[in-house]
Amino acid sequence: MSRALVSTALSDLAIGSCATLATLDLPDEIQGQLMHLGFVPESRVLALRRAPAGDPTVYCVNGAEIALRKETAQFISIHSVCLAERKVTQ
Amino acid sequence: MSSHCSPGGVAVAATPRIAGKISTVALIGPPNSGKSTLFNRLTGMRQKVANYPGVTVEQHFGRMGGIGHPDLTLIDLPGIYSLNSYSEDARVAVDVLHGNMPGTPAPDAVLLVLDALQLSRQLMLAAPILALGLPTMVLLNMSDLMERRGGEIDPLALARELGAPVAMISATKGAGFDAIARFLCRLSEPPEARQQPMQLPVLQTAASCHQWAAQVSTRTNYKAPSSSYWTRRLDAVLLHKIWGPLIFLAVVIGVFQVVFEAGLPLTDWLTEVFTKAGAAAVTVLPYHWLQVLLRDGLWNGVQAVLVFLPQILLLFLVINLLEDSGYLARAALIADRVMRSIGLNGKAFIPLLSAYACAVPAIMATRTIENKRDRLATILIAPFMTCSARLPIYTLIIAAFIPNRPILGDFFGLRAAVMLCLYAMGFVAAMGTARLLKSSVLKANAAPFILELPQYRWPTVRSVALRLYDRGKVFVQQTGTVILSVTFVLWLLSIVPVHHGTVAPLTESIIGRLGHFIEPVLHPLGFNWKIGIGLLSSIIAREVIVGTLGTLYGADPATQSVGLQAALRHDMTIGGAIALVVFFAFAMQCTSTLAVVRRETNSWKWPAIQFCYMSGLAYLAALAANQILSRIFF
């Protein structure tokens, strides 16, 4: 399985920013699991906060909050990054 | 979004499988949809837990007495996201729904539970379930919460879209259940034209299911409720860079503080009550031999174990509260960095924390770890965590041998320090073993860490009380059966052979001879033959040793009159006593754990390796402890 790093990876999304998911480049099983959690192409994802140690990061997608490590998020590519919802808490 | 379905959508006319009486109903839903709460409500808490043959997934059966249908059996299926994932849980669900699971009747109807707070995602499971063609009712759980948080859904439109009846329910409040009863009643009647054609995605991949679910949510005017204000506010503090880890540490310390500070007085009080009750019961008995049998053969051993019930329940209470509130998921997130350094991920933290209560449920909780090797490593190290069954012997030895001297004021004394050391020892052994395993036999690519953070919610008294009741029952049952029979047999062996109507002195009884036989092996550890018998008997369960020692010292005329603590002080050096608790910190003395490891790994190989490894480590560590301490203290 080719795991090419993309220039705009989900792991590079700044906290408080929003983006649209483009592609997932992960092993099938992990990809299926992520998709069932809402990580499907064209869905909006918000980087909500980082764990105290700086990794994993909590992402808000489809109303749910999911934590992913950098090593996973770097294989998810995004586009249309925007600095959305400055005030994350409500 | 267009009004027709995804490309390749097809009209499915669901045909009912049965006409006439129905008997079995399956309950299914994604993880965290409130399925268990609903199951307990519908069955009125009268449930049976069993295991699916050949796999590690538990099955819960119950009669639906909770809604006035005790004639119907409800099967609780594991929480799953989809039917085509490769996990064991999903396989079980598919087999049961198809009626291919031996020993489980094919369901006549399906209740699909979905979390109304996250409907557009949870609907993805509806497509494969409805495609099975069984009569299905869709239950939108937590709909009260959804409405309160400003969410909306048109349930009639959803029913039309899905071709299945939809009910808005609240499992925690018990609202909306009359619709379930009506649905089941109507099924018993001959089928009419209640099934409508529905559009389901033909290729049920994650992407097509998601697209379908998104379209259905749009057409049914679903408006997701805003994420709980309090969840975000709480996470801003609980996952804060500085406060987060500090609160995490405070919580972990607090758990133990509660168990010891609140639990110990309760245990002392219970000891007093039991001793008085035992003494009172003995005096009313007619014959001397009957009095001796009751006091020495049965009561002493059972009582010694039963007094730990408050502490064990407290520990389970605290862990259950943390789990139900949603904090444990945050703890896993915080712990991920540390767990990564030993080759595991944050999800292993939850089983390992509950292993402080008991390794058996902890090992079952490892099912949430997707990576097989990570899961095996977690199973193998879980018994090193200081489970509550070790508390009886720890408490006994510490109370008998460690002076109550303050170290940091009144708050932290020498006894607490020794206890903390014992906990730390188990933890270090677990971490070391994990590292060893993950860098050798269980080496694997780093597993992805995907963790869903649930919204915070108040734990319900009902579900917490139910689980505490279950744990308490198991403990009392075990005390009443296993420990009772072990102590009785030991007592019997400690008085035979009988010569001319007088019982043998303890050292010449069968048990005495057996103990003396194994003494040479245990002597370097500072253990006498009575401790040896205790160790042998505690292979069944760790807490048995306290009962055994209670019986053995109670049967010995030299120590009969003094309490167990005084008898031990008289009989052991400080080196031997510490070696004993060190032995217990590492040894695998629990047949229930071995049985559950066997079941979860599907082979005898891993429990055997685990037993030998842990026993060997325990022997060496106890040897070192005794040799070092006896040189310091003479």
Let me know whether B146 and B287 are in one domain: no
Is B281 found in the same domain as B217? no
Residue B213 lies in a domain: yes
**Banded pLDDT at B260 (limits 50, 70, 90):** low
Q: Which residue of B has its CA nearest to A36?
A: B206
Q: What is the pLDDT of residue A7?
A: 60
Helix axes B243-257, B229-238, angle to 10 degrees: 90
**Is B61 in contact with B48 (CB distance < 8 Å)?**
yes
8 Å CB contact of A30 and B227: no
Q: Is residue B57 part of a domain?
A: yes
| Distance from C-alpha of B23 to C-alpha of B85, rounded to nearest angstrom | 29
A89/B110: higher pLDDT: B110
The pLDDT, as a whole number, for residue B611 is 94
B26 in helix, strand or coil?
A: strand
- Last residue of some domain: B165, B191, B226? B226
Residue B140 counted as domain residue:
yes
Q: Does A62 touch chain B (CB under 8 A)?
A: yes
Confidence at B11, pLDDT banded by 50, 70, 90:
very low
Q: What is the pLDDT of residues B103-128, one digit of tens each?
A: 788 898 999 999 888 888 888 888 88
Q: Regarding predicted confidence, which is higher, B64 or A83?
A: B64
B117 to chain A: closest CA residue: A63
B193 vs B135 pLDDT, higher one: B135
Instruction: With cut-offs at 50, 70 and 90, classify the pLDDT of residue A2.
Output: very low
* Tens digits of residue pLDDT in A57-77: 999 887 788 999 998 999 999
First to last CA, chain B: 84
Q: Is residue B345 part of a domain?
A: no
Run of H or E residues at B496: none
Q: How far is B425 from chain A (nearest CA, A)?
A: 25
- Chain A residue closest in CA terms to B80: A36
The answer on B285 and B180 residing in a single domain is no
**pLDDT band at residue B510 under the 50/70/90 scheme:** confident
List, in order, residues 6 or more apart from B34 with CB less than 8 Å away: B113, B115, B141, B142, B171, B172
Q: Which tokens in the block code for residue B8?
A: 């390749």
Residue B455 domain-assigned (yes or no): no
pLDDT at B552 over 50: yes
Same structural domain, B139 and B72 = yes
Q: Are B216 and B278 within one domain? A: no
Amino acid B447: pLDDT? 63
Whether pLDDT at B506 is above 70: no
Q: What mean pLDDT comes out for the span B284-300?
A: 77
| Residues B499 and B572 both lie in one domain | yes
Distance from CA of A54 to the nearest CA of B (A): 8
Are B206 and B292 contained in the same domain? no
Domain containing B92 — which CATH number?
3.40.50.300
Cβ neighbours for B432, distance < 8 A, ≥ 6 positions apart: none
In chain A, which residue's Cα lies nearest the Cα of B235? A49
Distance from CA of B159 to the nearest CA of A (A): 22
Burial of A33 (0-12, 13-18, 19+ CB in 10 A): buried
Give yes or no for A32 touching B (CB within 8 A): yes
Shared domain for B165 and B286, answered yes or no, is no
Residue A40 with chain B: CB contacts under 8 Å: 206-207, 210-211
**Looking at this protein, which amino acid is placed at residue A15?**
I
Q: Write the CB contacts of B327 (distance below 8 Å, at least 6 apart in sequence).
A: B238, B251, B456
Nearest to A40 among B207, B227, B336 (CB): B207
**pLDDT the model gives residue B559:** 64
Q: Answer whether residue A86 shows pLDDT above 60.
A: no
| A78-87, B265-274, B342-351: least confident range | A78-87
> Is B487 domain-assigned?
yes
The DSSP symbol for B192 reads: -
Q: Which residue spans within B33-150 are E strands per DSSP?
A: 47-51, 58-64, 69-76, 109-115, 136-141
Position A87 confidence tier, pLDDT thresholds 50, 70, 90? very low
Structure letter (DSSP) for residue B451:
E
Instruction: Give every strand in the sheet of B450-453, ordered side by side.
Output: A76-82, A18-24, A44-50, A57-61, A64-68, B450-453
Domain for residue B354, yes or no?
Answer: no
Scanning the structure block, which residue is given the tokens 């001319």? B500
| Residue found by looking up tokens 């004394």 in the block | B413
User: One-letter amino acid identity for B44?
Assistant: G
Residue where a domain terminates, one of B163, B197, B226? B226
Pick B262 or B188 by higher pLDDT: B262
B134, B17 contact by CB (below 8 A):
yes
Domain match, B220 and B291 both: no
Q: How many domains does chain B have?
A: 2
Cβ of B336 within 8 Å of Cβ of A52? The answer is no
Which stretches of B163-257 are DSSP H helices?
A: 177-188, 206-219, 229-238, 243-257
Inter-chain touch A63–B240, beta carbons under 8 Å: no
Domain that includes residue B513, residue range: 272-309+462-633
Q: Report the predicted TM-score, pTM, of the whole model to 2 decimal places.
A: 0.73
What is residue B18's predicted lDDT score, i.e. its pLDDT?
A: 41
Instruction: pLDDT band for B444, please (50, 70, 90 cuts).
Output: low
- Per-residue pLDDT tens over the stretch B600-630: 787 889 999 999 999 999 999 999 999 999 8
Q: Do B109 and B206 fall within a single domain? A: yes
Residue B84 lies in a domain: yes
Domains of chain A listed by start with CATH number: 10-82 (2.30.30.90)
**Of B308 and B348, more confident:** B348
What DSSP state is assigned to residue B287?
S
CA distances A74 to A5, A63, A68, B190, B371, Å, are 7, 22, 10, 56, 20
pLDDT reading at B189 higher than 80: no
| Count helices and strands in chain B by DSSP H and E runs | 29, 12
Range in B58-62, B250-254, B371-375, B515-519 the model is least confident about: B58-62
B13 band by pLDDT with thresholds 50, 70 and 90: very low
Report the pLDDT value the prediction gives residue A5, as an integer from 0 to 100.
Answer: 42
Residues B50 and B184 in one domain: yes
Q: Are the beta carbons of B450 and A34 separated by less than 8 Å?
A: yes
pLDDT for the residue numbered B2:
37
In terms of domains, do B197 and B280 share one? no
| Cα B183 off chain centre by | 34
Count of alpha carbons within 13 angstroms of residue B456, beta-carbon side = 14
Residue B5 has pLDDT above 60, yes or no: no
